Structure formats: C-alpha cells, structure tokens
Amino acid sequence: MAKAPALRKAEPPVPNRERPDEPTPYAASKDELIEFYKQMLLIRRFEEKAGQLYGLGLIGGFCHLYIGQEAVAVGLQSALTPVDSVITGYRDHGHMLLCGIPPKDVMAELTGRAAGISKGKGGSMHMFSVEHKFYGGHGIVGAQVSLGTGLGFSHKYKGDGGVCLAYFGDGAANQGQVYESFNMAELWKLPVIYVIENNQYAMGTSVNRASAEDQLYRRGESFRIPGIQVDGMDVLACRGAAEEALAWVRAGKGPIILEMKTYRYRGHSMSDPAKYRSREEVQAVRDKSDPIEFVKKLLEEQGVPEGDLKGVEQEIRKIVNEAADFAEQTPEPDAAELYTDVLVEKY
C-alpha cells in the first residue's frame, strides 16, 4: 500500500519571513524638490479648475477630484522608469498628468471633446493611454487591482523589467477580487506594487466603520505579501517608500503593498453631501498637514526665494488656464464617431 504523504508541519501563527527594510525619507536635491512642488501644484490647480468647469456645466457625468492626495502619486511616480505601467480607479486625473499626458488632453476629455485622450468618449473615469503606459481610469471599484495584476503578469511574461503600480482606495480594499489577485500575484511573484490610497473614506463612510482590519498594509499577510504604511502627506516619505518597494519587486521577490495614509479634501464626487465628517475635521487637515504647504516650507528653509515660488505658481496657472481654454473651444466628436472605438469586434 502506498504510504500516505507526510503532513506538513504547522508553522507558527506569524512566521518569520523576509521583509523589506523600513523606508527612509528620500533625500531630494533642491531641484528635485522644486519639481515635486511643481507637479503637486499642477495637480491641485488642475483639479480646482476641473471643479469650476463642472460647476459651469462644461463637464458632465462623474468627476472625482484628487485634491489633498497629491504627494502620493507625485512621490511614487517620480521613482518610475518609462517601462513601468500605472493603473488606478476613477480618481485618476493626477496620475495621468504624472504619466506625461498633456494637461490639455486630459481637460478636453473631461469636457467631452474629440481632442481628449479618450476622444471625448471616456470622460473623467475612463481615460487611457497605452503610449504613456497609463492603463485607466476604471469605474468599477477594485477592477483595477485584477487588471493591474494582469499588467504585472505581462511585464514578467515579456521580461521587460517593468513594474505595475496598481492604485486603489481603502473602500476598494474590501472587494473580493483584490484577494484573488493578491494570491495569484504572490504565487507567481508578479512585479506589482499595490498602492492603497487610504484617504480615510470610501463613498459615504470611514475606513474604521467599514473595515475589520483597518491597518490596510496588513491585508496581504495571509498571502505572504509584505506591506508598509507610509505618510502619504509627505512626498519625501512617499518617494522613499517607492524606492524600497521597487527594489523589492525588481529583485523578483514578488508583489508588495504600500498603504498611503492620505486625505481627500473635497467630496467623494461632485455630488456629495459629506454627512460622514465635519468641516472642522477637513479644515484641521488642511491647516496642519497639507502636502503642498509641507514642500513649500522645505523649499523656504532651503533658501529658495519667495519670488521663485511665485514664479512656479504663475507658470502652473498658465498651463492650467491654457488647458481649460483649449477644452472649452476644441470641437466635440463628430456624430459619425458615436460607434467607433466602443467595441473591439476583431483583432
């Protein structure tokens, strides 16, 4: 009779696994810091302008602003190389700008114009640019996690050395497909950085009210995926964490989770009564931990003259105003385009 296979010895509840080092804040040069400041300001002013255009009725449908969260995408994406890919949910304008998509192409998409990055048919939530390695823009909460895992698979399969940065929210972290993806990604050691943008709220409730384990960086434990919690209001901490995560993933050690503790200042979307938090709470974060003010202070401490910072502000306002003017004036898609690029029937 065949011998029964030996049962594997049980491991202790929390086995000693190799873990990434605790990240250190990135030591940015003055020029790099100015660049971070510029990028964060671009996102903020772009989003404020999008909010205005929405109010004027020039943008229709859904529109989710990234104001307050700028340090996360700027810190992380500044560490990427051109071969890496990015995917996120519907709060996507900032990530796209950082992928190098021109602000006027993003704004024209918001106003539904033919010159928009999705030819005016995607709108705020559904933008895409393979050329810029930006794979959406997704309205289905959590879907980008599975798709991002697929992008990781594609990097590994092609052997191109790329890593996928897959962003999702604290609310999305409770979706089932996230965990199916985690399992597969670790099993196949896929090059994916799962970025949980924990802005403390989903659509209408707080993370503590909706999550049994609200320390979201631990969510990979049962799949042996390590996680790191990061101050998402500090761009240097974000960049430092990106360096550590990229080193881990590029070394072939499989996926990693970064939980970015951040905050959104505006409503969930443009129609949000925001009954789940007080105005005082929002104001306190703005006053004490604003990510742009943080960098501005660092620059001032390094002796960057106030005039230089004002110059950056003017330069950014000009870019954003030009994008808005373009988005208002450029034509809508021709009616004949109604059914093109909507469904791929054949390759």
Chain residues in the site for Mg ion (CB under 5 A): 169-170, 199
When binding is defined by CB under 6 A, the residue of 44, 45, 49, 91 that contacts ligand TPP is: 91
Q: At what angle do helices 70-77 and 30-55 cross, to 10 degrees?
A: 130
Distance (Å, rounded) from C-alpha 204 to C-alpha 274? 7
A 10 A CB-CB count for 330 gives 17
Distance (Å, rounded) from C-alpha 112 to C-alpha 123? 6
Largest separation between any pair of C-alpha atoms in the chain: 86
Instruction: Determine if 262 is a binding residue for ligand TPP (CB under 6 A).
Output: no
A 10 A CB-CB count for 139 gives 17
Nearer Cβ to ligand TPP (138/156):
138
Instruction: Determine if 152 is a binding residue for ligand TPP (CB under 6 A).
Output: no
Nearer Cβ to ligand TPP (201/294):
201
Instruction: Determine if 88 is a binding residue for ligand TPP (CB under 6 A).
Output: no
Instruction: Determine if 105 is a binding residue for ligand TPP (CB under 6 A).
Output: no
Residue 321 CB, shortest distance to Mg ion, in Å, is 30
Instruction: Determine if 199 is a binding residue for ligand TPP (CB under 6 A).
Output: yes
Find which of Mg ion, ligand TPP, none residue 268 binds, CB within 5 to 8 Å per kind: ligand TPP
> Which residues lie closer than 8 Å to 147 by C-beta, 6 or more apart?
87, 135, 136, 138, 166
Nearer Cβ to ligand TPP (49/266):
266
User: How many CA atoms does the CB half-sphere of 332 hold within 13 Å?
Assistant: 8
Residue 143 CB, shortest distance to Mg ion, in Å, is 16
Among positions 269-328, residues that touch ligand TPP (CB under 6 A) are: none
Contact 170, 197 (CB under 8 A): yes
DSSP 141: T
Nearer Cβ to Mg ion (149/199):
199
Residue keyed to tokens 């959406």? 136
Find which of ligand TPP, Mg ion, none residue 156 binds, CB within 5 to 8 Å per kind: none
* Segment interacting with ligand TPP (CB under 6 A) among 14-22, 167-175, 247-255, 314-322: 167-175
Find which of Mg ion, ligand TPP, none residue 316 binds, CB within 5 to 8 Å per kind: none
Residue 171 CB, shortest distance to Mg ion, in Å, is 5
Number of residues in contact with ligand TPP under rule CB under 6 A: 13
Q: Phi, psi at residue 50, to the nearest 5°?
A: -60, -40
Structure tokens at 346: 């054949």
Nearer Cβ to ligand TPP (104/261):
261
Residue 275 CB, shortest distance to ligand TPP, in Å, is 15
Instruction: Determine if 171 is a binding residue for ligand TPP (CB under 6 A).
Output: yes
Query: To the nearest 10°, the Cα dihedral for 38, 297, 227, 255?
Result: 20
Instruction: Determine if 234 is a binding residue for ligand TPP (CB under 6 A).
Output: no
Distance (Å, rounded) from C-alpha 227 to C-alpha 245? 9
Distance (Å, rounded) from C-alpha 22 to C-alpha 28? 18
Residue 177 CB, shortest distance to ligand TPP, in Å, is 9
Using H for helix, E for strand and C for coil, what is the string for 102-160? CHHHHHHHHCCCCCCCCCCCCCCCCCCEHHHCECCCCCCCCHHHHHHHHHHHHHHHHCC
* Segment interacting with ligand TPP (CB under 6 A) among 105-113, 200-208, 217-225, 284-292: 200-208
Nearer Cβ to Mg ion (105/197):
197
DSSP 333: P
Instruction: Determine if 114 is a binding residue for ligand TPP (CB under 6 A).
Output: no
A 10 A CB-CB count for 2 gives 4
Residue 198 CB, shortest distance to ligand TPP, in Å, is 8
DSSP 171: T
When binding is defined by CB under 6 A, the residue of 76, 115, 117, 141 that contacts ligand TPP is: 141
Contact residues toward ligand TPP (CB under 6 A) are: 91, 139-141, 169-172, 199, 201-203, 268
